[in-house]
Amino acid sequence: MSDTTHQFPGTVHVGRPGHPGHPGHLTDDTAGPEYAHYRIVPAKHHARTAGTVLAIVLIGIVLNSVLGNPRWGWGVFVEWFFAAPVLSGLARTLVLTGLGALFGFALAVPLALARVSRSPLLAGCAWAFIWLFRSIPPIVLLLLLNNLGYLYETIWIGVPFTHITLLNQSTTDLISPFFAAALGLTLNHAAFSAEAIRGGILSVDHGQREAAAALGLPGTRQVRRIVLPQAMRAILPTAFNDVIGLAKGTSVVYILAMPDLFYTVQIIYHRNLEVIPLLMVATVWYLIILTVLSAIQVHIERYYARGATREQVAVSPLAALFKHWRNVRAAARSESTAARLAAHARTTSDAGTTTGWAQRRVGGKVGIHNVSKSFGTLKVLDNISIAFPSGSVTVILGQSGSGKSTLLRSINHLERVDDGFIDIDGDLIGYRREGRTLYELKEKDILQRRRADVGMVFQSFNLFPHLSVLDNLVEAPLASGVPREQAQAEARELLARVGLADKADAWPRQLSGGQQQRVAIARALALKPKVLLFDEPTSALDPELVNEVLDVIRQLARSGTTLIIVTHEIGFAREVADTIVFMEGGRVVESGPPASVLGDPAQARTREFLSKVL
């Protein structure tokens, strides 16, 4: 076989050592033709071409059949398409569709939230409603509501077991055919939409809810700003299918002699016997309605797709114009705020009051008193007592399953302990103390305590993907009542300190893992917590990205904030920690200064663990 290699000019060829194609031999013949002058012949796809020709032929046959057949009665179609009775019926169809969709979704959201609530009674009642109204055919439901007067002569609304009356009216006078139609379509639509919304809520990663709770966002804000916007990507396709079904389903109101679009067309063709042309009038109007709904669906899906991929989602010209107008207003509002902050920064810098990371602050003192926690029969924390001094940096070591992360989550009250107590600066986590009596706090009070005292950085980042980097940082301060301009200015300063000033408007998915973790740290710092918890902040990162996150934590360790870090980075722990805690089987085996625990451990189990990781 010949060893001759056919070479293109200006290329590198790989072959046997000593051969001109070997990596050490570069061919750079500039005398030959350039690639720019080559003619490219596209590949031919004969099957695709045949399919295209066949599709064109079929379209021509259909158009010829429809437009060339006089029995379709296109003259009658044109005559009645914009006729007053047809437009009146169309308007009633649109009103019923709008009312059914509006009130149906308004009822479906609380039904879906009740279905996923922790209250068995609420979940059971919501399930019963959905089961009932999904089971009853719409036409039967409309007839039942229209004839409700046979069961109840009057409808009374007031305060039960009193004489206070808000409404007392004849049922037949109150429930007109239109009211029965709107109510029936609403109840039917709500039952189906509630399940679509519940499915969307369940599709949101649990870490997103934990991150929102760790930031202390109120429950309603968690649902409105974090859960539902992400759930919408799963909800929208099914929801618009339901709306489209509702628009077509309005035709069943003919049973109540309601002159909607379909019933109006029926009346006309019973009079003039032009059945096909009149049915085509209804068909084309339904096609227009559904086309408009589909266009709206595309626009809304594009809106909620923000941040779902690393690519920038294209926006419509109208949305782009609105965004530009909003940005101009925001820039005008924040100009004076930015100037004030810049002046303040220069003043504090001249006074030497900054550390290069943040102003010195007093961290919180954390006390853990006889804490135990079990998951079923598995005891994860076993009567732990330990203190973390104010401003200290503590690193917790231990093998997987030793209880490190559960201890961290218990400090933040993401996990409720079974026994014992945890306090920050003497204030118990999860309880209010009056004398020698402890009152368990409600969830909203716990969330408020988190906002004031504890921040947390998760192993898997848990950034909100539908919010920009800047919006991730300002969400919790806004919930705490901080003005938007101030929150944004402080967030941009934090981003600059973690080296991401140019990423404020990026989506989390457009960032590397190290960048996402630095954003997560900045987000936790936005509320200026007394205590900051790190749950293995580098375990989800490539080795090359670890140092950029550890550098941020090194700077933060000098700020005065109390840091409690779960990590496997022994070298980092030796460098930054004041105290090393080694855990095994839910207990603290050994704790002390890094030189003692890492250099000369007192416990055999500690020595065995370190021998495997060092």
| CA 338 remoteness from chain centre | 30
- Flag whether 54 is in a domain: no
- The reported pTM is 0.74
Q: Is residue 66 part of a domain?
A: no
Q: Report the side by side order of strands in the sheet with 419-424.
A: 378-388, 366-375, 419-424, 427-428
Handedness of CA 297, 303, 307, 312 (dihedral sign): positive
Q: Return the pLDDT at 268.
A: 92
* Cα–Cα dist 104/184, whole Å: 10
Chosen domain end from 304, 321, 346: 304
Domains in the chain, number: 3
Task: Verify that 27 and 83 share a domain, yes or no.
Answer: no
For residue 255, count other CB atoms closer than 10 A to its CB. Answer: 16
Buried b (16+ CB within 10 A) or exposed e, 334-363: beebeeebeeeeeeeeeeeeeeebbeeeeb
Tell me the pLDDT tens digit for each residue of 70-94. Answer: 888 888 999 999 999 999 999 999 9
3-state secondary structure 289-354: HHHHHHHHHHHHHHHHCCCCCCCCCCCCHHHHHHHHHHHHHHHHHHHHHHHHHHHHHHHHHHHCCE
Task: Let me know whether 287 and 409 are in one domain.
Answer: no
Q: Is the pLDDT of residue 438 over 70?
A: yes
Same domain, 89 and 216: yes
**How many C-beta atoms lie closer than 10 Å to residue 430's C-beta?**
17
Give the three-state DSSP class for 12: strand
Count of CB atoms situated within 10 Å of the CB of 307: 22
Does 432 share its domain with 574?
yes
Considering 270, 286, 304, which residue would you say is the last residue of a domain?
304
| Structural tokens at position 32 | 């030959």
State pLDDT tens for residues 222-274: 989 999 899 998 999 999 999 999 998 898 998 888 888 999 999 999 999 89
Is the residue at 118 inside a domain? yes
pLDDT in tens, 161-216: 888 888 888 888 888 999 999 999 999 999 999 999 999 999 999 999 999 999 98
Asked whether residue 190 is domain-assigned, the answer is yes
pLDDT above 70 as % of the chain? 85
What range defines the domain where residue 382 resides?
Answer: 366-463+528-613
Instruction: Specify whether 145 is located in the same domain as 245.
Output: yes
Please report which residue ranges of 506-567 form alpha helices under DSSP H: 513-525, 543-556
> Could you tell me if residue 201 is inside a domain?
yes
Same domain, 136 and 229: yes
Pair 380, 289 in one domain: no
Is 393 a member of any domain? yes
SS3 content of the chain, % helix, strand, coil (to 5): 55, 15, 30
Helix (H, G, I), strand (E, B) or coil at 387: strand
What pLDDT sits at residue 365?
A: 93
Q: Please compute the mean of the pLDDT values over residues 277-283 and round it to a whole number.
A: 93
Q: Calculate the alpha carbon distances from 400 to 186, 396, 404, 608, 613 in Å.
A: 52, 12, 8, 15, 13
Residue-wise pLDDT for 319-333, tens only, equals 555 555 655 555 555
Q: Encoding tokens for residue 141?
A: 């439901």
Same domain, 14 and 134: no
Q: Give residue-wise pLDDT tens across range 392-401.
A: 999 999 998 8
* Number of C-beta neighbours around residue 560 at 10 A: 18
Whether residue 212 is contained in a domain is answered as: yes
Helical packing angle, 513-525 and 484-497, nearest 10°: 130
pLDDT surpassing 80 at residue 37 = no
Does residue 16 sit in the same domain as residue 103?
no
331 phi and psi angles, rounded to 5 deg:
-65, -40
Is 129 in the same domain as 184?
yes
| CA nearest to 534, candidates 460, 425, 594, 584 | 460
Residue 179 shares a structural domain with residue 235: yes
Strand partners, 581: 396, 591
Domain end: 273, 304, 335, which one? 304
Mean pLDDT score across all residues of the chain = 84
CA distances in angstroms from 94 to 72, 245, 469, 593, listed in the order given: 27, 13, 40, 73
What's the count of helices (H) and strands (E) in the chain, helices before strands?
A: 22, 14
Q: Is residue 474 part of a domain?
A: no
Residue 233 exposure: Cα atoms within 13 Å on the Cβ side: 17
Same-domain pairing of 30 and 84? no
Tokens matching residue 52:
């295209």
Instruction: Please name which of 326, 404, 433 lies closest in space to residue 564, comparing C-alpha atoms.
Output: 404
Give me the residues paired with residue 579 across strands.
394
Cα(180)–Cα(592) distance, integer angstroms: 74
CATH number at residue 172: 1.10.3720.10
What does the buried/exposed string (b/e) look like for 181-216 if buried means 16 or more CB atoms within 10 Å of the residue's CB? bbbbbbbbbbbbbbbbbbebbeebeeebbbbbbbbb
Q: What is the DSSP code string of 30-53?
A: TTS--GGGPPP-PPP-HHHHHHHH
Question: Residue 532 maps to which CATH number?
Answer: 3.40.50.300
Q: Within 13 Å of residue 431, how many CA atoms lie on the same side as its CB? A: 19
Average pLDDT over residues 292-308: 86
